[in-house]
Structure 1
Amino acid sequence: MINDNKMTASELRGTWGLGTVFSLRMLGMFMVLPVMTTYGMTLPDATSTLVGVAIGIYGLTQAFFQIPFGLISDRIGRKFMIVGGLILFSLGSLLAAFSQSIWGIIIGRALQGSGAIASSIMALLSDLTREQHRTKAMACIGVSFGISFAIAMILGPMITHAFGLHFLFGIIAFLSLLGIVITLTVVPSTDRHVLNRESGMVKSSITKVLNNRRLLKLNFGIMCLHMLLMLTFVALPSALERAGLPAVNHWILYLVTMLISFAAVLPIILYAEMKRRIRSVLILCVTVLLIAEVILWSSNKHLWSIISGVQCFFVVFNVMEALLPSLISKEAPAGYKGTAMGVYATSQFIGVAIGGCLGGWLFDMKGTSAVFAACALVAFIWLIVSTTMREPSYVSSLRILLSRRVLEDSDLLNRIKAQAGVTEVLLVKEEQSAYIKVDTKKTNRRQLEELIHLGKS
């Protein structure tokens, strides 16, 4: 007898296995970030512009392949796509590891990005977990993103200083190969490919998501956030060195600022959610981002000014990485969350591509000051857009499976809509599913399931 309140051993293996694969992939992606502008400039043919391209081209190929890979995985299998994506990522890493010029690094980074597996991981996680545990499983993936980013900021500089940039890419290749082993040996296999609109993409839904103004503003926000991340890291290592902090010690700064950031994130997120003040917190965060970039812009070789700007940036970055997906979940129409998250991820990587390439070009033309000035301008534009946002509805997205008998109930839709806290309902008979947006403080999943089955009991 399966206990519905606890995850099964298979669900736990799937959650932790896929979470580990996702973490290893993100670790490999982010470890390069704090060292490319410092150590990449030592490569033959390297210029600041080309180093920026090497940073940003990963996002370009990720953005291009993100949605197609997610759709293809529905047809040829999730594990196949995940393993294939990790093979591409490892091949790109090995190419970069053995390259003797910046051009090889650029091609390797492009190949790394072409293995876009995030949507396939989310889809497989949906196949492996029951509805009542899916939110917890997805949350584990989200948490792994923040942890991977923090670890990468510390390990990247340490490994590169000790062994060099080529060795770092070798380590990244090893991590991706380890991800393949975990996918094949730890993550359970399943023949069940459930089209779950809460985590998977639906091709016919893309247009509706792109036409949703509230989602567009959030997509613009994540694009700006990752533009700022790439722009900042194009200029930051050089600014730190000119202010007297050698590259060998950069990891210490990242360690301290990350620890403080993580301590600050949870209270801010809890306040935003529990007090239902997400809009206010978001505007405040974008304002702090603008202040951080202005501080970096005006620091003029003053180390403590740079440190204070970096600290403000990391606190807000980690808060926004948790806040923006939550807003996407709240704002996406019933049955469109998976597609909305796919477009959101694509927007994120477009920001990576623009930020890296633009940052490298500006750094080449005008130096660190111009890059930080561009950051301040991006943050200012984002602040203007964020002030036009409305407070979101504080609702959760639920998917409830329906029996054929229940689907015959002609009054089912009206009965669900009449329930307290329900704002939207989408019945999809082909999937035998009801997608519901509901305020869980007023009506929870169990009450909805009882209500749905009441008519045909």
Structure 2
Amino acid sequence: VLSPLLAAWGGLPGIFSLTCALALAGVCAVLWVVPPEPRAHADAPRAAPSELLRHTDLLRLNLGVFVLHTVQMSMWVAVPAMLVQAGLAKAVHWQVYLPAVVLSFAAMGLLFSMERKGRLRAALLGAIGLVLVVQIGLGMLAASGTIPTVWCMALLMFVFFCGFNALEASQPSLVSRMAPAPLRGTALGAYNTLQSLGLFAGGALGGALAKWAGTPALFASTAALCALWLLVSWPLRPVGRAGAGH
């Protein structure tokens, strides 16, 4: 939401300078604000990282966060250009992003409602399906050669953020709930690492596809990744909050 305004104000040097300042602030917070780990946690038994490979549902969640952020970064190689084609200058792209994000947060109430009713698996698969539908929609727009409208792009962004925010909120929580206690730290570390690798892979994949194969091929690839993710996640049996005591 803020990046179009920041780019108009300070350009890419301003954005990266702010990123650097925030990273340094994070380092300072970890060093001097975050309290040390309690001794009871530090002395707790820890499982070997290889134990993670025995838990298929955790592997599914790790694949999920990798694909989610690969798709997110890949699509954002092309989405700003499509908004410009729709007649929206780069400096005002926040006018699409902000309402889409805010309204998607309101729609997240459905996720919590389904979780309370014991339908968390359906909510997760539905959220993956929403991300897939958006990739297909963007791909069809790109392949048609027609100029997209702002309203069409805004609707696709809203649907994307509904799925994205639901997955961002639920998947790390599920990793913490479903990992055995001795493996919980390792599981969360692996999850966060794959999230970062997904961001890198998405930028590299999206840029390469946009340059060498074109925007339709980019969205065909992200749609294929989402379809694979949905297939792999289909057997997932998530643990609800009541079963998170292990």
Q: Same fold, TM exceeding 0.5?
A: yes
Equivalent of 2:80 in 231, 237, 249 = 237
Q: How does 1:289-300 map to 2 (within 5 A)?
A: 289-299=131-141, 300=146
Structure 1 counterpart SS, 2:87: coil
Contact kept? 2:82, 2:148, Cα under 8 Å: no
Structure 2 counterpart of 1:118: none
The Cα of 1:176 is off from its aligned counterpart by: 3.2
Counterpart pick for 2:215 among 348, 368, 379: 368
Map 1:141-180; keep pairs closer than 5 Å: 154-180=1-27
Select 1:257's aligned residue among 100, 103, 116: 100
Tell me: CA distance 1:275–1:176, structure 2 relative to 1, closer, same or farther (3 Å): same
Contact 1:295–1:305 under 8 Å retained in 2: no
Question: Within 1, Cα distance between the matches of 2:183 and 2:80?
Answer: 40
1:341-382 per-residue CA deviation (whole Å, 9 max, x = no partner) reads 111111212222221111111000122222111111111111
How far does residue 391 in structure 1 lie from its aligned partner after superposition?
4.6
Is 2:105–2:162's contact at 8 Å kept on the other side of the alignment?
yes
Distance 1:210 1:194 in 2: 28
Which residue of structure 2 aligns with residue 23 of structure 1? none
CA contact under 8 A between 1:160 and 1:167: conserved in structure 2?
A: yes
SS of equivalent to 2:180: coil
Q: TM-score if structure 2 supplies the norm length? A: 0.88
1:221 aligns with 64
SS state at 1:335 partner: helix
Question: Which residue of 2 is the match for residue 146 of structure 1?
Answer: none
Please list the CA deviations of residues 252-290 of structure 1 after superposition, one character each: whole Å capped at 9, or x if unmatched.
11111111111112x123213211211111111111111
Alpha-carbon distance in structure 1 between the residues aligned to 2:197 and 2:34: 33
Give the structure 2 partner of residue 196 of structure 1: 41
CA shift at 1:181, angstroms?
5.0
Encode CA deviations 1:79-108: one digit per residue, 9 max, x unaligned: xxxxxxxxxxxxxxxxxxxxxxxxxxxxxx
Q: Counterparts of 2:58 and 2:35 in 1: how far apart (Å)?
A: 34
TM-score (norm 1): 0.49
Closer/same/farther in 2, CA of residues 232 and 214 from structure 1, 3 Å limit: same
- Structure (1/2) with the larger helix percentage: 2
The answer to whether the 8 Å contact 2:121/2:236 transfers is yes
User: Structure 1's 212 and 181: CA in aligned 2 closer, same or farther, altered over 3 A?
Assistant: closer
**CA–CA distance in structure 2, aligned partners of residues 254 and 313 of structure 1:** 11
For residue 201 of structure 1, report the CA deviation from its aligned partner: 10
Q: Which residue of 2 aligns with 1:312?
A: 159
Within-5 A mapping of 1:15-164: 154-164=1-11
Deviations 1:146-178 (A, max 9, x none): xxxxxxxx2211011122111221222233344
Q: 1:336 to 1:311 in 2, by over 3 A?
A: same
The amino acid across from 2:168 in the alignment is E
Unpaired stretches in structure 1, ≥5 consecutive residues: 1-153, 398-436, 438-457
Say whether residues 1:211 and 2:54 are aligned partners: yes
- CA distance in 2: counterparts of 1:178 and 1:389, whole angstroms: 38
Classify the secondary structure of the residue corresponding to 1:321.
helix
1:392 Cα deviation from its structure 2 partner: 3.1
| Aligned counterpart, 1:19 | none
Distance across 2 between alignment mates of 1:223 and 1:155: 24
Aligned to 2:147: 301
Q: Secondary structure at the match of 2:134?
A: helix
The Cα shift of 1:298 comes to 1.3
Q: Which has the higher contact order (CA 8 A, sep 6+)?
A: 2
From the two aligned structures, give the one with the greater strand fraction: 1
Alpha carbons 1:295, 1:306 under 8 Å: kept: no
Q: Distance in 2 between matches of 1:207 and 1:184?
A: 30
Secondary structure in structure 2 of the residue aligned to 1:168 = helix
Equivalent residues, number: 239
CA drift at 1:305: 2.3
Structure 1 residue 388, shift from structure 2 partner: 2.0
Aligned counterpart, 2:188 = 341
User: Contact 2:125–2:234 (CA<8 Å) still a contact in 1?
Assistant: yes
Deviation at 1:196, TM superposition (A): 2.5
Shift of 1:229: 0.8
Q: Larger Rg: 1 or 2? A: 1
Q: Does 1:396 align with 2:244?
A: yes
Taking the aligned partners of 2:55 and 2:204, their CA distance within structure 1 comes to 29
1:219-267 Cα distance to aligned partner (Å, 9 max, x none): 11111111111111111111111222111111111111111111112x1
Which position in structure 1 is the counterpart of 2:89? 246
Instruction: Give distance in 2, aligned partners of 1:215 and 1:195.
Output: 25
Match of 1:323 among 156, 170, 173: 170
Distance 1:392 1:307 in 2: 34
Structure 2: unaligned runs, 5 residues or longer: none
Cα offsets for 1:19-68 (capped at 9, x unmatched): xxxxxxxxxxxxxxxxxxxxxxxxxxxxxxxxxxxxxxxxxxxxxxxxxx
Using a 3 Å threshold, how does the CA distance of structure 1 residues 276 and 205 change in structure 2: closer, same or farther?
Answer: farther
* CA–CA distance in structure 1, aligned partners of residues 70 and 31 of structure 2: 35
